[in-house]
Amino acid sequence: MSPQDAPEWFPPLEQALDEPAGLLAAGGDLSPARLLAAYQRGIFPWYSPGQP
């Protein structure tokens, strides 16, 4: 599956970066469908200081 196949697509957790720690994906919207899909996979959006 790829981003073109489903808007809720995420890379496998094993692909998370070591630096910055745990970064798996960047960008995308924070729609309810995307957040629910992320939470179901153990992925939690996190912001850095100064971001909305």
Segments in the chain forming alpha helices (H): 32-40
What's residue 16's pLDDT? 92
Given a cut of 60, whether residue 3 has pLDDT beyond it is: no
Helix (DSSP H) and strand (DSSP E) numbers for the chain: 1, 0
Question: CATH number, domain at 5?
Answer: 3.30.70.3550
Look at residue 14 and tell me if it is in a domain.
Answer: yes
- 2 CB contacts (<8 Å, ≥6 apart)? 9
Note the pLDDT of residue 2: 52
CA 10 to chain centre: 6
Q: Is residue 37 part of a domain?
A: yes
Does residue 34 have a pLDDT over 80?
Answer: yes
In a domain, 49, yes or no: no
Q: How far is CA 21 from CA 1, 17, 24, 25, in A?
A: 25, 6, 9, 12
**12 vs 46, which has greater pLDDT?**
12
- Domain residues for 19? 1-42
